[in-house]
């Protein structure tokens, strides 16, 4: 074989060797994109940008955030699923990642087509009503809904907020009136004014209204009482054991991510959750830092998909 022919054949291998070496060392060694499949300014976007800011100097390379919105997060997640599994393209998703698997026909398999690297944070929901709403506890609300089937209205903004209400209806055996809104901003004035009765919403979205007295909190969907609202019972301890619902944020990558790269990204992301500046920003979001291994994260998402799929089936919601 002549020298020119040999050089031509070996050129692709020579270009690939540095990447292979870096992958074996546990990291891709070039700019990393974190795709956020939601609009800028939300909890997922803020957390992703916070991680990018901290990981850039640690990895000595650029870590950039790209918002790729559409279809309740499906468009951006699909871009992650179809990316090369080399660590250069990651995603930062919310509970919608699991909810979408139950509600929609997606171009990817939520459990098969992603590497879940870590659950970064969790944000509980709070069951709230207007201050003069007759029911002041979960037990009183259940009794009211059962005595007035189909008349007590739940504000619904989609995703986990909607499915938490459906789960509540199923667990209590009480029919509810579902009133859809485009988001919390649209629902809160009607809730405060008593034009809609109750709502599950994220802690950060309602905390200010609860503290100011504009809304009354009946319970939280967290596993334990919240330090910021220590007198507020959980739905579980108020009579529905095992009732839990939360939004959360997770770092994901495409399926097939090499184990050394997955471990490095997960370990470094989780390590940032111990920094005081990160903890302060998380607290401002109403988020509880979590930080899991890839194995635990994958198990968590699998359980979330199963939970919300069961709720959708029980509620008779047709997959779109």
118/256 same-domain check: yes
Q: Please report whether residue 8 resides in a domain.
A: no
Listing DSSP states for 74-138 in one string gives HHHHHHHHTS-SSSSEEEEE-THHHHHHHHS--SS-TTTSEEEEEEEEEEEEEEEE-TT-S--SH
Q: Give how far Cα 272 sits from Cα of 38, 58, 83, 134, 235, Å.
A: 22, 10, 25, 45, 32
In a domain, 225, yes or no: no
Question: Does residue 147 share a domain with residue 59?
Answer: no
The predicted-structure confidence for 301-317, as pLDDT tens digits, reads as follows 999 999 999 999 999 99
User: What is the CATH number for 36?
Assistant: 3.40.190.150
Domain around 216: 124-220
Least confident interval from 1-15, 16-30, 169-183: 1-15
Nearest-angstrom CA–CA distance, 180 and 230: 30
DSSP reduced 3-state for 18: helix
- Decide which of 177, 204, 220 is a domain's last residue: 220
| Helices and strands: H and E segment counts in the chain | 11, 10
Comparing CA positions, the residue from 156, 229, 143, 146 lying closest to residue 187 is 156
Residues 311 and 296 in one domain: yes
Q: Helices 276-284 and 43-59: crossing angle, nearest 10°?
A: 170
Based on the fold, state whether residues 251 and 173 are members of the same structural domain: no
Whole-prediction pTM = 0.85
Within this chain, do residues 213 and 275 fall inside the same structural domain, yes or no? no
- Considering the domain architecture, whether residues 60 and 131 belong to the same structural domain is answered as no
- How far apart are alpha carbons 26 and 87 in whole angstroms? 9
pLDDT score for 82: 98
Same-domain status, 109 and 148: no
What is the percentage of the chain residues whose pLDDT exceeds 90? 79
The confidence band for 99, taking pLDDT boundaries of 50, 70 and 90, is: very high
Q: Does residue 241 lie within any of the structural domains?
A: no
Does residue 15 fall inside a structural domain?
A: no
pLDDT digits (tens, 9 = 90+) for 119-162: 999 999 999 999 999 999 999 999 999 999 899 999 999 889 99
Q: Are residues 34 and 103 in the same domain?
A: yes
As a whole number of angstroms, the distance between CA 252 and CA 119 comes to 9
Domain membership flag for residue 237: no
Q: CA separation (Å) from 109 to 6, 57, 78, 91, 115? A: 42, 34, 10, 15, 11
Is position 239 within any domain?
Answer: no
Confidence check: pLDDT of 7 > 50: no
Are 302 and 276 in the same domain?
yes
**Residue 20 pLDDT exceeds 70:** no
Domain shared by 147 and 69, yes or no: no
Is 171 found in the same domain as 102? no
Residue-level pLDDT at 221: 96
Query: What is the tens place of the pLDDT at every residue in 54-79?
Result: 999 999 999 999 999 999 999 999 99
How many structural domains compose the chain? 2
pLDDT band at 28 (very low <50, low <70, confident <90, very high): low
Q: Residue 6 burial (CB < 10 Å; 0-12/13-18/19+)?
A: exposed
Looking at the fold, whether 136 and 283 belong to one and the same domain comes out as no
Among the candidates 202, 220, 238, a domain finishes at 220
Among the listed residues 208, 209, 231, 234, the one whose alpha carbon sits nearest the alpha carbon of residue 219? 234
Does 311 reside within a domain? yes
96 assigned to some structural domain: yes
CATH number at residue 176: 3.40.190.10
């Amino acid at each position: 074989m002549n020298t020119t022919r040999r050089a031509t054949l070996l050129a692709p291998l020579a270009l690939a060797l540095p990447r292979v070496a870096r992958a074996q060392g546990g990291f891709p060694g070039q700019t990393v994109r974190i795709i956020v499949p939601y609009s800028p300014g939300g909890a997922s976007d803020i957390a992703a940008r916070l991680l990018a800011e901290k990981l850039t100097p640690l990895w000595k390379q650029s870590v950039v955030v790209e918002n790729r919105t559409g279809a309740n997060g499906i468009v951006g997640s699909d871009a992650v699923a179809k990316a090369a599994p080399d660590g250069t393209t990651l995603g930062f998703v919310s509970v919608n990642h699991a909810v979408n698997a139950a509600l929609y026909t997606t171009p990817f398999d939520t459990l098969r087509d992603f590497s879940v690297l870590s659950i970064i944070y969790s944000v509980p929901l709070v069951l709230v009503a207007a201050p003069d709403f007759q029911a002041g506890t979960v037990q009183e609300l259940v009794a009211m809904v059962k005595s007035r089937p189909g008349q007590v209205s739940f504000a619904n903004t989609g995703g986990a907020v909607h499915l938490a209400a459906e789960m509540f209806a199923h667990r209590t055996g009480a029919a509810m009136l579902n009133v859809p809104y485009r988001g919390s901003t649209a629902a809160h004035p009607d809730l405060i004014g008593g034009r809609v009765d109750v709502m599950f919403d994220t802690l950060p979205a309602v905390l200010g209204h609860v503290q100011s007295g504009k809304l009354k909190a009946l319970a939280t969907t967290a596993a334990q009482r919240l330090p910021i609202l220590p007198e507020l019972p959980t739905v579980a301890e108020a009579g529905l054991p095992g009732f839990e619902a939360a939004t959360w944020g997770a770092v994901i990558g495409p399926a097939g991510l090499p184990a050394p790269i997955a471990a490095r990204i997960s370990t470094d992301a989780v390590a940032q959750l111990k920094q005081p500046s990160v903890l302060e920003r998380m607290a401002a979001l109403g988020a509880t830092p979590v930080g899991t291994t890839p194995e635990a994260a994958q198990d968590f998402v699998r359980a979330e998909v199963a939970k919300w799929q069961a709720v959708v089936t029980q509620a008779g919601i047709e997959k779109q």
